Structure 1
Amino acid sequence: MNLTMRGLHIFIFLATLLDLALAQVDLSRVLIKIPKCTQLCSLKVLGPARCPLTDLPNCLCTNTTLQEELATCVLGSCNFTDQVVSTTIAQNEICEGVSQPSRSTEIIRDVIIIASVTFPVVLLRFLSRSIVAHRIWWDDWMIGIAALLMVPMVVIPILNAQRGFGKHFWDVPPQNVTLLRKLYYVSQLLYVVVQNLAKISILFLYLRIFVNPRFRLYTKIVMGWAFCHTFAFLMADAFQCVPVKAVWDTTIDAKCINLQTLIYAGAGFSIVEDFIIVLLPISELRSLKLDLRKRIALFFMFALGSFACITSMVRLKYIISYSNSVDLTWANVDIVIWSILETFMAVICASLVCIRPLLVKYLPVIFPVTEVSESRGSDMKSPSWSRRLSLKASSKLRNENGIELLSDDDEARVGLRDNKSNVTPPLRVAQV
């Protein structure tokens, strides 16, 4: 019995030794195929870390810091072809079967959640404008175009996540790198357009609602700036490299602008524009003769745009934090998520005010209607004939376009007149 057990132990020992020997032989064959530049990086990085070449699956493949140091060295020392060969060997032979961290599921989950909130809000906006206002205007068309462009903004991150975005760049399959860069390039252009379409939509909303000539002039100036800013940054993003193909093909010699500087500039301009757009209608809203609760409700609806400004600042924080990272497929996850949240929140903020008439029409219990007056004083003198014509024109503009500040389905026949008039008829305003 003892001889049998001893023989079994010897057999197990020899089998283990043989397995290790074969593994070392196989690993040696793998290491021979590694490009010379990668071998030099391995000696430079793995030596000080006391990671023997015979135990790479355990000491390298489970150590993210060590993998990053080695991958960064290879990125700076090897040409693109050698990088592809090294990455393929590392993924398919050395580290095969070793689980690696990934945020791909997080990207897909967050994008779906954000989209599932935003698209219904846009739909409600158009229902409100069609059912209550019976009219689609320029602010609605801007949101409509933005909504169409938001579809690829949802699809692209999901496709990228399925192809390696959300993993460390040394874990991304080399055959997916070019496609990831192309799709990321397209998403940059979509971000610029959708973000600014939402802002321009809000400015068109101001023009539709308010009739104060000075306010409308200021709004048009800001809108002109927004159009110019959109075009300038869209062109800068589109032609960040010449030829453009160099954006996703790093083997091409090209002249490229400093993309990080462009991103900083775009984020800074965006935050300033958000503040301006939020603050712009305050004087007009203050002049409405509403009780405190209704005025706070109106201010709240218009000030929701400040949340988009907050998301812009959070996004800028992540941009600064990861500005020097070479691990873009991992570091850019937060930037991509917050970029989508920023643009989609801008669309939501641009749509919420327009949904209010629909809520008043179909939820009168929650939004009851009361009568308030916008008369600014006790001066009850009859206005002159020319003044009456001016007030009539002003009232007509409000009746057709300004129903967001009113209440129910009679809003199209009851309007907010110029606050500077001597007297105005009562207004029906929703209690919110």
Structure 2
Amino acid sequence: MQFEDLLVAMLSNPPDPDEPLPLANKKATIYGTTITFLIVSWFAVSLRLFVRFRVVREPGWDDFFVTLSAVFNTVATTCVLLSVNYGLGHHFLYIPMPKMSTYLLLFYIENAVYISETALIKISLLFQYLRIFKAGYMRWLCIGLLALITVWGLAFSFLAWFPCFPVKGYWNRMNMKPKCYGFGFDDPKSFIALFEAHTATNMTFDVVVFLTPMVLFGRSNLRKKNVIGMTGIFMFGAVVVFTSIWRLYSIVENRAATQPYVDFTWWTPISIILSCLEIDLAIMCASMPIFWPVIEKSLSQIFVTHEVHVTEHRRLNENGLEYELEHTNGNNESQSRLGRSGSHGTLKSSGGNSEEALTREHTRNASFGFDRYKDQYVIEQVDPLAGGGIATTEVEANKVPKQKWMI
């Protein structure tokens, strides 16, 4: 189908130019969702790289491919944001011809980049699994998936990067007569079939890759903390799979933006948003197991994890009053502490001369050790012989013969 034929088909069934924009087609929705998740995904990648390079000092191929996925995702998201100014979210038929050509260029880039990064993020996850599975059938399974997904990614990436010959004929069809196929929309049926085929196989590989480490739950030596952490990661992965399924549903529903009529800029925003979110979430899911243990350890050192209870016990003197408390008379006037100067059982002096209390001399007494210590309880803590008792030590002989060995 030539581009002129496509425009004629659109003109035969023109959409309402005043039709209200759906929520997904609004600029605020597109900007708000894509930019927010892009920032969070780069934050996750930065923490991952910090841990691998500065903490454990063991970078690998998985880090390279997840970083490459993040770079590709940034390029795709940037193209999406720019395409809003060239007609994304509005009816394709009413876009001026210069803007229409620019939009097709931006869509070509974002579609090719997205198809490439769907393979890159899965390759990164499989390299990450190879760090865990050092031998056995699980390692061979990961290697087999790695080879299969690599071939799958290369095949679809070639179809996306070279949809027409020459390539620039994809977005410059008014001035050129390129030979297009597949994603180049030369034939609507093959265009729809190729989009649905990639989305369906992408969803299938998402499910397989995220379910592969489930075998770890079968280990008997897993602690409860590890089980909870792994469950959280796999639930996050389930969100990625759900996003991929949702994208497949949106493409099938409008037949790759061709039903109920051909309109590439009107029907595609929801699919484009889900494409960006799918990669963002996959990058975060791949990075969380790397940096989260370090963050959790750091948080445990910051926040209090043990409670300390401080209790006190007070003693009463012979009058039934507590030591070290100030008592008042019926007029609520402070008269003295219990241990004021001249009282029996004095512990502290409250005569108003604190210097005297701090510099008094203690003269050793034969009976009590110090003549200034009048409290019998304090005396017994200082001099255990002051109570007049005799200190004895009783040692009971152990009559059980000593064992030569013990388990």
Describe how 1:286-325 pairs up with structure 2 within 5 A.
Answer: 286-323=218-255, 324=259, 325=261
How far does residue 213 in structure 1 lie from its aligned partner after superposition?
Answer: 2.3
How far does residue 345 in structure 1 lie from its aligned partner after superposition?
Answer: 1.1
- Is 1:106 aligned with 2:38? no
- TM-score w.r.t. structure 1 length? 0.60
Aligned to 1:345: 281
Q: Give the counterpart of 1:282 among 204, 210, 214.
A: 214
Aligned to 2:10: 75
How far does residue 109 in structure 1 lie from its aligned partner after superposition?
Answer: 2.0
Identity of aligned residues (%): 26
Aligned to 2:162: 239
- Is 1:357 aligned with 2:324? no
3-state DSSP class of the match of 2:300? coil
Residue 367 to residue 331, structure 1, CA distance change in 2 (3 Å): farther
Residue 245 to residue 109, structure 1, CA distance change in 2 (3 Å): same
Separation in 2, partners of 1:366, 1:241: 58
Separation in 2, partners of 1:288, 1:205: 22
Separation in 2, partners of 1:366, 1:327: 55
Segments of structure 1 that go 5 or more residues without pairing to the other structure are 1-70, 370-432
CA-to-partner distance for each residue in 1:219-252, whole Å, 9 max, x for gaps? 0000001110110100112223333333223342
- Is 1:128 aligned with 2:51? yes
CA-to-partner distance for each residue in 1:232-279, whole Å, 9 max, x for gaps? 100112223333333223342524222221111111111111111122
Tell me the amino acid that sits aligned with residue 117 of structure 1.
V
Aligned to 2:267: 331
Residue 367 to residue 272, structure 1, CA distance change in 2 (3 Å): farther
- Is 1:207 aligned with 2:130? yes
Equivalent pair of 1:105/1:161 in contact (CA under 8 Å): no
- Is 1:256 aligned with 2:191? no
Tell me the amino acid that sits aligned with residue 262 of structure 2.
V
Tell me the amino acid that sits aligned with residue 251 of structure 2.
I
How far does residue 171 in structure 1 lie from its aligned partner after superposition?
Answer: 3.3
CA-to-partner distance for each residue in 1:362-390, whole Å, 9 max, x for gaps? 12259999xxxxxxxxxxxxxxxxxxxxx
Residue 260 to residue 339, structure 1, CA distance change in 2 (3 Å): same
Q: Going by fraction, where is helix more abundant, 1 or 2? A: 1
- Is 1:163 aligned with 2:99? no
Equivalent pair of 2:170/2:180 in contact (CA under 8 Å): no
Separation in 2, partners of 1:187, 1:269: 19
Aligned to 1:383: none
Separation in 1, partners of 2:302, 2:216: 26
CA RMSD of superposed structures (Å)? 2.9
CA-to-partner distance for each residue in 1:29-59, whole Å, 9 max, x for gaps? xxxxxxxxxxxxxxxxxxxxxxxxxxxxxxx
3-state DSSP class of the match of 2:268? helix
Separation in 1, partners of 2:304, 2:125: 26
Tell me the amino acid that sits aligned with residue 277 of structure 1.
V
- Range that drifts further, 159-168 or 300-309: 300-309
Tell me the amino acid that sits aligned with residue 261 of structure 1.
A
Separation in 1, partners of 2:56, 2:133: 16
How far does residue 137 in structure 1 lie from its aligned partner after superposition?
Answer: 0.8
Separation in 2, partners of 1:160, 1:77: 26
Tell me the amino acid that sits aligned with residue 183 of structure 1.
L
Aligned to 1:154: 77
Separation in 1, partners of 2:118, 2:80: 17
How far does residue 202 in structure 1 lie from its aligned partner after superposition?
Answer: 0.8
Separation in 1, partners of 2:238, 2:20: 39
How far does residue 163 in structure 1 lie from its aligned partner after superposition?
Answer: 2.0
Equivalent pair of 1:360/1:368 in contact (CA under 8 Å): no
- TM-score w.r.t. structure 2 length? 0.64
- Is 1:225 aligned with 2:161? no
3-state DSSP class of the match of 1:202? helix
Separation in 2, partners of 1:173, 1:104: 19
Aligned to 1:397: none
Separation in 1, partners of 2:54, 2:208: 31
Equivalent pair of 2:76/2:109 in contact (CA under 8 Å): no
How far does residue 130 in structure 1 lie from its aligned partner after superposition?
Answer: 2.3
Equivalent pair of 1:285/1:299 in contact (CA under 8 Å): no
How far does residue 162 in structure 1 lie from its aligned partner after superposition?
Answer: 1.6
- Range that drifts further, 309-318 or 99-108: 99-108
Residue 187 to residue 202, structure 1, CA distance change in 2 (3 Å): same
Separation in 2, partners of 1:134, 1:293: 25
